[in-house]
């Protein structure tokens, strides 16, 4: 999912959601107020109240918008290099070299995910978000199998496992001192994929194409 | 970690921590007050205030006590059946058949873990807790290698990965509708351990001993 989805908002709705994103990233969820979002949306704070009833409405609209943008990129996109794309997805989700602003937003995401324990609207969003990522990974694996480049395996099972592991890593990062463990996890994930998913013939292959590159 | 660690509290401190545990389990963290814990500790609510400055002091003392109890069980305990113990640990951490009260406490743990994003005392506790579980798994794997029952692998790397995956699963459970994905994750984890950890000769072996059984 692109980190600069809000770099060039188009129209009032996108501008309001971009302001919500910046507030979430910079201030976190707990102390966020709809007033603060109104102020961040400089054009006309009152417009925010006219479109959204509560802070949670705004937050969920913002998350939903980001997810939709990600989904729209995937439509009709051929998977020409399944292993390369999978490797870039893992790198995107587990690299320890990430920009400070993205790191801040990932911390806020941990807070927001916890809202889903007690709030059905958040639980509904995160269920859908998990499903999108599972399908994204599952489609890559199915493409690899279809192209004879991956072993016969269970695409959905592998995808659920990969998404659960990367979710665990994203949740552990801001709640655990230090990140030395992250390299261990990436190495073992690689060993798992070598054993379970990649065929010998794909070893070392990770040529990229422009579609794959632009997507994350 | 035993779920009935507070079934027979011994002395004032343990009774206060047992009351804290029951409140956390039944009410969650957000709405918990030190007053409610005082009321749950029927003997003398004012004693709670004399021993603990804040709700967070109490919560962290409660979590720390549970972790210490778990650690004390491990000291000097021989690992006679590493595969059986590992399988029971995975079952304990990812079974979909768990008592309602434990499920409630696991939801509260998701809330508490998120406190670690912004609160150093919680981050310090969860870092230590992760380390205890990683060492627990790593020691099992090293024992299996030493006994010639597991492959030569990286015990710490496998342990960090297993703990991250199970953490991801425990966090996803109360924040995602439905648990159909959990069986997929268990199946793939089994496939990973077969490929990376277990030796052919250990296949199907999972005799148990009393130590292993009593521990979880």
B75/B179: higher pLDDT: B179
CATH number belonging to domain A1-75? 1.10.357.10
Say if domain B78-216 classifies as CATH 3.40.605.10. no
Q: Per the CB < 8 Å rule, is B122 touching A175?
A: yes
Predicted local distance difference test score (pLDDT) of residue B23: 95
A207/B162: higher pLDDT: B162
Tens digits of per-residue pLDDT, A77-86? 789 999 999 9
Predicted local distance difference test score (pLDDT) of residue B110: 97
Helix axes of B180-196 and A155-172: crossing angle, nearest 10 degrees: 90
pLDDT band at B213 (very low <50, low <70, confident <90, very high): very low
pLDDT band at A174 (very low <50, low <70, confident <90, very high): very high
Beta strands in B149-211 (DSSP E): none
d(CA A44, CA A88): 40
Q: Per the CB < 8 Å rule, is B184 touching A122?
A: no
Predicted local distance difference test score (pLDDT) of residue B161: 98
Q: Between the CA atoms of A17, A23, A29 and A32, what dihedral angle is there, to the nearest 10 degrees?
A: -100
Predicted local distance difference test score (pLDDT) of residue A208: 47
Whether the pLDDT of residue A71 is over 50: the answer is yes
Q: How many CB atoms lie within 10 A of CB B139?
A: 17
Q: How many CB atoms lie within 10 A of CB B167?
A: 24
Question: Chain A contact for B31, CB < 8 A?
Answer: no
Q: How many CB atoms lie within 10 A of CB B194?
A: 15
Q: Per the CB < 8 Å rule, is A107 touching B123?
A: no
Question: Chain A contact for B132, CB < 8 A?
Answer: no
* Mean pLDDT (chain A, rounded): 89
pLDDT above 70 coverage of chain A, percent = 90
d(CA B87, CA B91): 6
Contact A117, B110 (CB under 8 A): yes
Question: Chain B contact for A111, CB < 8 A?
Answer: yes
d(CA A109, CA A126): 10
Half-sphere exposure of A18 (CA within 13 A, CB side): 16
Question: Chain B contact for A167, CB < 8 A?
Answer: yes
Mutate one of B103, B110, B114, B126 to test the A interface: name it (highest A CB count within 10 A).
B114
Question: Identical fold at B1-76 and B78-216?
Answer: yes
- Three-class SS state of B198: strand
Contact B141, B82 (CB under 8 A): yes
For A127, the closest chain B residue by CA position comes to B176
Predicted local distance difference test score (pLDDT) of residue B138: 97
Question: Chain A contact for B111, CB < 8 A?
Answer: yes
Predicted local distance difference test score (pLDDT) of residue B201: 58
* Mean pLDDT (chain B, rounded): 89
Predicted local distance difference test score (pLDDT) of residue A44: 75
pLDDT band at A75 (very low <50, low <70, confident <90, very high): confident
Break chain A down into helix, strand, coil percent, rounded to 5: 70, 0, 30
CA angle, corner B64, sides to B59 and B68, nearest 5? 155
Half-sphere exposure of B155 (CA within 13 A, CB side): 17
CATH number belonging to domain A77-216? 1.10.357.10
Tens digits of per-residue pLDDT, A138-165? 999 999 999 999 999 999 999 999 999 9
Whether the pLDDT of residue A212 is over 50: the answer is no
For B191, the closest chain A residue by CA position comes to A196
Say if domain B1-76 classifies as CATH 1.10.357.10. yes
Question: Chain A contact for B192, CB < 8 A?
Answer: yes
Predicted local distance difference test score (pLDDT) of residue A3: 58
Whether the pLDDT of residue B215 is over 70: the answer is no
Question: Chain A contact for B32, CB < 8 A?
Answer: no
Max intra-chain CA distance, chain A: 60
Q: How many CB atoms lie within 10 A of CB A84?
A: 19
A174/A207: higher pLDDT: A174
Question: Chain B contact for A103, CB < 8 A?
Answer: no
Q: Between the CA atoms of B78, B84, B85 and B86, what dihedral angle is there, to the nearest 10 degrees?
A: 130
Tens digits of per-residue pLDDT, A1-58? 555 788 878 888 999 999 999 999 999 999 899 888 988 887 777 888 888 989 999 9
Contacts of A107 in chain B (CB under 8 A): 117
Torsional sign, CA A95, A101, A105, A110? positive
Mutate one of B175, B178, B184, B185 to test the A interface: name it (highest A CB count within 10 A).
B175
Domain ranges of chain A: 1-75, 77-216
pLDDT band at B9 (very low <50, low <70, confident <90, very high): confident
Tens digits of per-residue pLDDT, B89-121? 999 999 988 999 999 999 999 999 999 999 999
d(CA A165, CA B196): 17
Contact A86, A193 (CB under 8 A): yes
Least confident piece of the model among A60-64, A82-86, A94-98: A94-98
């Amino acid at each position: 999912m692109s980190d600069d989805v809000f770099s060039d908002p188009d129209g009032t709705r996108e501008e309001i959601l971009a302001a919500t994103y910046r507030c979430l990233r910079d201030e976190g969820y707990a102390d966020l107020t709809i007033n603060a979002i109104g102020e961040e949306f400089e054009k006309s704070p009152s417009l925010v109240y006219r479109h959204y009833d509560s802070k949670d409405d705004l937050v969920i609209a913002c998350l939903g918008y980001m997810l939709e943008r990600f989904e729209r990129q995937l439509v009709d996109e051929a998977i020409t290099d399944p292993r390369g794309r999978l490797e870039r997805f893992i790198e995107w989700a587990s690299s320890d070299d990430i920009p400070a602003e993205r790191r801040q937003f990932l911390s806020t995401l941990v807070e927001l995910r916890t809202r889903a324990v007690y709030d059905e609207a958040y639980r509904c969003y995160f269920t859908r978000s998990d499903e999108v990522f599972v399908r994204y990974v599952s489609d890559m694996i199915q493409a690899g199998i279809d192209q004879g480049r991956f072993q016969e395996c269970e695409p959905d099972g592998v995808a659920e496992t990969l998404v659960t592991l990367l979710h665990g890593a994203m949740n552990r990062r801001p709640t655990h001192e230090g990140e030395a463990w992250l390299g261990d996890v990436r190495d073992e994930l690689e060993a798992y994929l070598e054993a379970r998913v990649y065929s010998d013939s794909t070893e070392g292959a990770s040529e990229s194409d422009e579609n794959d590159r632009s997507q994350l």
